[in-house]
């Protein structure tokens, strides 16, 4: 059995968002939220702040997503 990455697993989650306003791939957003929660950010406000502060560099390094 081949090991799958977290990004691969998150890519299996159906994206309920409409086409309008899509900027970031859902697996990258979910991965960033998971990391924020693991780092102790438990409110939506603190998760959003974590994403603004660390999002692009983390996405590039963790998930090979263009920043």
Residue 67 predicted with pLDDT over 60: no
Instruction: Measure the CA dihedral 34/37/39/43, to 10°.
Output: 140
Overall pTM > 0.85:
no
pLDDT digits (tens, 9 = 90+) for 14-57: 999 888 767 888 888 898 899 999 999 999 999 999 988 987 78
């Amino acid at each position: 059995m081949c090991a799958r990455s977290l990004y691969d697993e998150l890519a299996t989650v159906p994206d309920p968002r409409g086409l309008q306003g899509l900027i970031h791939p859902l697996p990258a957003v979910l991965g960033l939220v998971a990391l924020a929660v693991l780092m102790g950010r438990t409110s939506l406000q603190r998760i959003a702040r974590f994403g603004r502060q660390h999002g692009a560099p983390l996405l590039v390094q963790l998930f090979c997503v263009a920043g």
